[in-house]
């Protein structure tokens, strides 16, 4: 028997641009922790369905999710700001975005994401969709900042909310696990959010800022 995730991936094969991201990560010796294929497709659909024009991605890696997000923009109006601590990763993501036909769509801000967010706050930038996918220890901070930078009705997506099962395991209580549980609880109970939790792959939190 195959898993539901494998079945989904049989139905929807990754295309050349996304395969290229994976190939480039392997060639650079960088661990591939790109968003799962099915959730990448979901990101495209969320951007398209919501009509988001300004998207903030926290964690670029090789540009897999960046391509998925940019694919959701209808026409040429969309703008992606991507926060990445590694200049090597940001360079790779930028090249892969360009190869996928999205050159110039993304602005990469290199450094600690929280510092870059401070800069965005100073610039007065606001966003329609957030994809949180960087260091797990800052997920609660990223959630707080996303709510602060959200346009009304903005979508917040958080990846890896199950931490490969550690979130569910009462014997696992490391700092990232504790923060991820708090993040999931905040997403579920914050009165400013309408939300749900998708348990496929490594878990995905999905919320709308009311
Ligand atoms: C899970 S990967 C992102 C995957 C990417 N969103 C995708 O699906 O293609 C996490 C990325 O966050 C970056 N990162 C980790 N800590 C960070 C921080 N404090 N500030 C900014 N970026 C960070 C890592 O360098 C890595 O590239």
Assembly ipTM: 0.99
64 lines ligand 1 (CB under 6 A): yes
Inform me whether the pLDDT recorded for 76 exceeds 90. Answer: no
The residues, ordered by sequence, that sit 6+ positions from 35 with a Cβ below 8 Å of its Cβ are: 43, 64, 65, 68, 131, 133, 159
Share of the chain above pLDDT 70, in %: 100
Ligand 1 atom 16: the closest Cα is on which residue?
Answer: 135
What is the mean predicted confidence (pLDDT) over 102-114?
A: 97
pLDDT per residue as tens digits for the range 111-149 = 999 999 999 999 999 999 999 999 999 999 999 999 999
User: For the chain, what is the domain count?
Assistant: 1
pLDDT per residue as tens digits for the range 17-62 = 999 999 999 999 999 999 999 999 999 999 999 999 999 999 999 9
Q: Measured between alpha carbons, how far is 176 from 166 in angstroms, rounded to an integer?
A: 10
User: Ligand 1 centre and the CA of 1: distance in Å?
Assistant: 33
CATH number for the domain including 97?
Answer: 3.40.50.150
User: What is the domain extent for residue 115?
Assistant: 4-209
C-alpha radius of gyration, the chain, whole number: 16
Locate the ligand 1 atom nearest the alpha carbon of residue 113 and give its number. 20
| pLDDT value at residue 77 | 86
Helices 87-99 and 16-28 cross at an angle (nearest 10°) of: 150
133 lines ligand 1 (CB under 6 A): yes
User: Ligand 1 centre and the CA of 134: distance in Å?
Assistant: 4
201 lines ligand 1 (CB under 6 A): no
């Amino acid at each position: 028997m195959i898993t539901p995730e494998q079945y989904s991936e049989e139905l929807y094969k990754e295309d050349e641009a996304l395969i290229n991201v994976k190939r480039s990560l392997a060639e650079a010796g960088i661990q591939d922790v790109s968003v799962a294929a099915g959730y990448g497709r979901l990101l495209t659909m969320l951007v398209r369905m919501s009509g988001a024009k300004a998207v903030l991605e926290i964690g670029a890696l090789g540009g897999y999710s960046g391509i998925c997000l940019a694919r959701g923009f209808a026409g040429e109006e969309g703008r992606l700001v991507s926060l990445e601590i590694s200049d090597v990763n940001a360079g790779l993501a930028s090249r892969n975005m360009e190869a996928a036909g999205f050159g110039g769509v993304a602005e990469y801000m290199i450094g600690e994401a929280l510092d870059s967010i401070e800069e965005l706050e100073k610039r007065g930038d606001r966003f329609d969709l957030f994809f949180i996918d960087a260091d797990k220890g800052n997920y609660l901070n990223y959630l707080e900042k996303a709510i602060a930078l959200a346009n009304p009705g903005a979508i917040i997506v958080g990846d890896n909310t199950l931490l490969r099962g550690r979130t569910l395991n009462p014997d696992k209580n490391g700092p990232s696990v504790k923060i991820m549980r708090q993040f999931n609880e905040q997403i579920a109970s914050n009165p400013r959010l309408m939300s749900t939790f998708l348990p496929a792959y490594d878990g995905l939190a999905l919320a709308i800022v009311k």
